[in-house]
Structure 1
Amino acid sequence: METLVINVKLSLLALVFFLSGCAGGDGISRSQCGSQQDCDRHITYWQNAIDAVAQANFPDEKFNAIVHYKDFKNAWVTAGRNINITALLLDTLNFNQMVAVAAHEIAHLKISSSNHLEVDQVGVDYLIKTGMHKKDFLTLLYWMQGYCMDNHDDSCSTYYTYLVRIEQIENSMSATDWRLALPDLENLLKMDADGGEDGGGE
């Protein structure tokens, strides 16, 4: 078991990323989507992810879902408890991944910090209270790194910071956390290998 954990960690450290999230962006919620149905679906999907975090941690507080139709993948917060995300990122992630993103962004608002290491710790605490696990945040970080390897936009500008952030989460994980995480991480490695063989990627 220990050898398997080490092998997976070494393989994954060749990847490493995080959605630097939180860098700003501009855009509007509804005017640039393809149809009203798309607009409603995006807003509802993102609001549900945000509400999952809020209800488990701040049941008396309301956070607003804002979806931007821009040509990049990112999430960030703005004044007025607005939790912003681009439709490109929203369409790519599953619901658990979106809850992990929402937890991270709400942590930015609640502790008023731009230090991603601090925000990650608080965001993971929020995530756990929703009934999810550290592995859900960790697999999000590794998944997102693939985007940065293929797309060198502003949200992928601090590679060293991403390494440190993933290391922080891994170092805090118990044996139980690793048992939960290994299947997902191995699937990510398999998907990465399959994508490489196909010449694929986003």
Structure 2
Amino acid sequence: MQRLDIVNGVTEVEGIAEEKPAGAEEDEKKGVPAFWLNAMKNNEVLAEEIHSRFSTNTFPSWDRAQPMQILGHNGEMNTLRGNVNWMKAHEGLLKCKALGLSKDELKKLLPIVNANSSDSGAFDGVLEFLVQSEKSLPKAVMMMIPEAWKNDKNMDSQRKAFYEYYSALMEPWDGPALISCKYFPYRCIGSMRHQQGMRLDERIIPYL
């Protein structure tokens, strides 16, 4: 896979360049091109996530487009109603000793799950909440989508203890689901399937 430079938000491939109308340079300082120029200091793409999927349990709209803040999701969450209700119940138990926030200040962060979001958006909101609470991305995903650990005789005891501990703190989100995640502040990208493994994925690992 070839490394591509991004110039003003447009990928230049094999020397193909577009003719720019008058005043285009000023327009390029706004919107998406400006975002990319600010986000990438060296203007190089080292990794990218591509996702094409319509909303399964909700009517498609631009605010539900994927990928979201952290993930792209293929499938649907069959336990969505229960998960959303449990997160609502957990909100009353939130504390933040590190920042010393009062209960009134914590209320400004709520709700964790937007009532108008899709199942993917709900999952993304909870996942982002866990990551912002200083859980690593792999740990947060494992908390939300645990493996079938209870009767797995081949699973090592340390991993089984992890799932058993967090099963008391977080209710599992069950699919079918393939979750692809990225969190570039921590230089982390990955994907995982739910317990039944009914969603396939394809990974391309470029040589950089």
Q: TM-score of the superposition, structure 1-length normalised?
A: 0.29
Higher helix share: 1
Q: TM-score of the superposition, structure 2-length normalised?
A: 0.28
Where relative contact order (Cα < 8 A, 6+ residues apart) is larger, the structure is 1
Which of the two has higher C-alpha Rg? 2
